[in-house]
Structure 1
């Protein structure tokens, strides 16, 4: 699991301590590996922000306020998720200019922090790399791109945007490698990516022109996973 680099920036020491404690608690509950750096000024944060995955940023700070810092962050690190953490809700609108990911308000509550971390994890679903062969060339493929997998006696085939890749993994091995939030084994020969399912009717999954049978033994498990996926991740 990748370590999350998290920054917390607020000129109020007590607010920094409280938010650090809540982020640590949520990280432990969710088995996340979090490295948390704290800052009491925007200037300090900007020196380190290039490595950050997530930044909790106060708006009202001396010298550089959070709006100015947020705009500078976006120029340095386009992928960083900025969470505005403030008591000044009337300034939320200004933060939309630099694609704020979420807002939380003082005094901080653990449920708000948990919702932020849930939302971030949902964005990260299926983004791990798997190494597959295409015409004897080893390729790095993002798991989310794989539509479905077929198992044969000595190898497995992976279908990605009309292209076919191969590896020697068994389906049992793949179940331990693939992101279980979006991949589901539906048959002794098939694993499907729930992202790519267009229709499911009468025990058959449709992905493009491909029809994939769901075995009777796997049907209840698949339908539960498909429903949960639709509820949690359909907007991603």
Structure 2
């Protein structure tokens, strides 16, 4: 069951969001526990953690952006949707890896479309996996665990979010073809495929990852990578 938190200081907006979100999951016959909070303080003091957070950007005690920064310290890569009256907040939102934005005044179609995209990008990936052989042992590796692939010395090294590195005998081109249906995996170098879900920023030399490492972007790939990355962020 999905766990969803809504935080908005406006009682009217909070109820509207709750109704729209409940309607979306009911329409798609999906189980979801949805809790709502009137202040960021109450949300952050809750014992429970959530799969998706819908945060109002402008709140009196703490802004949605500040709340998101606190959530990033509590758990790895929280899925955050900002509710905002201005897209100017999008710049700050991307710094905390926002999954989406919904503009006020609230429209049901906008919230449902954002939820659909967020579910597809974040939770479909969590369930997807690839078959690999590591140390002669076949295994299913969840794609959501992968930061990037690196081709080195005729082997492919898979760098995971927890810091582990798996070594496999497989060509990077074959992996690229297998991952093609998932837009979050991008070939950015002759020797690298990166998971855009875990990119903090695109810098002149490459992608800065959430673990502080930099994945190189080659000169031949840079223009296309820049285009794909910024379009991915805006989805």
**TM-score (norm. length: structure 2):** 0.54
Which residue in the other structure is 1:127 paired with? 126
Measured in 2, the distance between the counterparts of 1:144 and 1:102 equals 18
Q: CA deviation at 1:125?
A: 2.1
Q: CA deviation at 1:102?
A: 0.6
The residue that corresponds to 1:30 in the other structure is 28
Q: Deviations over 1:63-94 (max 9, x none)?
A: 21222112111111222111110224333322
| Count of matched residue pairs | 155
| 5+ residue gaps, structure 1 | 146-160, 164-192, 198-234
Q: Once superposed, what is the RMSD of the aligned Cα atoms? A: 3.5
Distance 2:143 2:95 in 1: 32
Change (3 A) 1:38 1:15: same
In 1: Cα distance, 2:87 partner to 2:137 partner: 53
Deviation at 1:16, TM superposition (A): 0.6
Q: Is the 8 A contact 1:49 1:73 kept in 2?
A: no
Superposition deviation, residue 14 in structure 1: 0.7
User: Residue 97 in 1 paired to residue 95 in 2?
Assistant: yes
- Matched residue, 1:142: 142
1:84 to 66, 82, 85: 82
Q: Alpha carbons of 1:110 and 1:194: their partners in 2 closer, same or farther (altered >3 Å)?
A: farther
Summarize the Cα distance change of 1:80–1:50 in structure 2 as closer, same or farther, 3 Å threshold: farther
Query: Where do 5+ consecutive residues of structure 2 fail to align?
Result: 146-167, 171-176, 182-231
CA shift in 2, pair 1:12/1:23, >3 Å? same
SS in 1 for 2:120: helix
- 1:108 counterpart residue number: 106
Equivalent-residue separation in structure 2 for 1:144 and 1:73 (angstroms)? 19
Distance in 1, matches of 2:88 and 2:114, equals: 20
Q: Deviations over 1:93-115 (max 9, x none)?
A: 22222111111011211221122
Q: Shift of residue 129 of structure 1?
A: 7.7
TM-score, with length taken from structure 1: 0.54
Work out whether residues 10 and 61 of structure 1, in 8 Å CA contact, stay in contact via their aligned partners in 2. yes
Q: SS of 1:111's equivalent?
A: helix
CA contact (8 A) 2:100 2:118 kept: no
SS in 2 for 1:63: coil
Instruction: Decide which structure has the larger Cα Rg and report it.
Output: 1
What is the CA distance between 1:26 and its match in structure 2?
0.9
Q: Do the aligned partners of 1:82 and 1:101 also contact (CA within 8 Å) in 2?
A: yes
For 2:57, what is the secondary structure of its paired residue? Answer: coil
Residue aligning to 1:75: 73
Distance 1:12 1:122 in 2: 29
CA displacement at 1:136 relative to structure 2? 11
Partner in structure 2 of residue 177 of structure 1:
none
Summarize the Cα distance change of 1:48–1:79 in structure 2 as closer, same or farther, 3 Å threshold: farther
Describe the shift of the 1:65–1:139 C-alpha distance in structure 2 as closer, same or farther (beyond 3 A).
same
Residue 124 of structure 2: SS of its match in structure 1? coil
